[in-house]
Every structure is written in C-alpha cells, then in structure tokens.
Amino acid sequence: SQQGEEDPQALSIQEGENATMNCSYKTSINNLQWYRQNSGRGLVHLILIRSNEREKHSGRLRVTLDTSKKSSSLLITASRAADTASYFCATDVNTGNQFYFGTGTSLTVIP
C-alpha cells in the first residue's frame, strides 16, 4: 500500500504549546498534503508541499518535507483549543491523481 503513516497516533498538549506530528510514506511523490478533520466532519485542506520544496509556512503551521527519508512533519505553534482535531497526511501516487491518506494523529489541546 502507498498509505502514509502518521506518528504519534494521539497527542495531548496544553494550550500555548507546540504540537508536532510526523508522516512517513513509501514511494516517490509529486506532493504531500496535510488535512484536518474535526470530529464527525469532512476533511479540510491545510497545506500542500511539493516534492521540490523542503519547508512551507501557513500562519501557525509549518510543514517540512524530507524526500530522502520519505517523511514530513507538521508543526502547529502556539496551539489553541480549537486546534483539537485529527490530522492526516496525504500523498499522491507519482503517476496518477490518486491520493493516499494515513490513519491520522488525534490532537487534543487542553485549555
């Protein structure tokens, strides 16, 4: 399977702290995306990083990509209770337009 794997599976932090979650994948990719899912809802796109990029920022989000290690990390700085959600990475199949999602990291931010 092309599926990415997020690590850790669950993370609990205090409001104001930083949260880091990681994603590993198996084969070459064109890009990697991170999504957020609030409980029982659809997924919301957060950020896309292309295979020729190493780092990308969007507000309090910082994503890094290491294609040599086939891994990515998502850092959420100064976390808020509203950041409580599950976070998924998605990688595309190099030759097509399918995206493969990992099993997600469940983040709980305690007020």
Partner 1 sequence: DVKVTQSSRYLVKRTGEKVFLECVQDMDHENMFWYRQDPGLGLRLIYFSYDVKMKEKGDIPEGYSVSREKKERFSLILESASTNQTSMYLCASSSWLNEQYFGPGTRLTVT
Q: How far is CA 110 from CA 12, 19, 50, 56, in A?
A: 7, 12, 33, 27
Number of residues that bind partner 1 (CB under 8 A): 24
* Piece of the chain touching partner 1 by CB under 8 A; list 12-20, 61-69, 71-79, 93-101: 93-101
* Piece of the chain touching partner 1 by CB under 8 A; list 14-22, 26-34, 61-69, 70-78: 26-34
- Residue of 12, 18, 28, 98 that binds partner 1 (CB under 8 A): 98
Q: Which residues within the stretch 56-85 sit at the binding site for partner 1 (CB under 8 A)?
A: none
CA nearest neighbour of 87 among 47, 55, 53: 47
Joined tokens for residue 51: 């295979």
CA nearest neighbour of 33 among 45, 51, 21, 25: 45
Residue 91 CB, nearest distance to partner 1 (Å)? 11
Is 99 a binder of partner 1 (CB under 8 A)? Answer: yes
Place of tokens 């969007």: 58
Work out whether strand 19-24 and strand 31-37 pair parallel, antiparallel, or are unpaired.
Answer: unpaired
Which is nearer to partner 1, 2 or 20 (by Cβ)?
Answer: 2
Joined tokens for residue 56: 């990308």
Binding residues vs partner 1 (CB under 8 A): 1, 3, 30-31, 33, 35, 40-45, 48, 88, 90, 92, 97-104
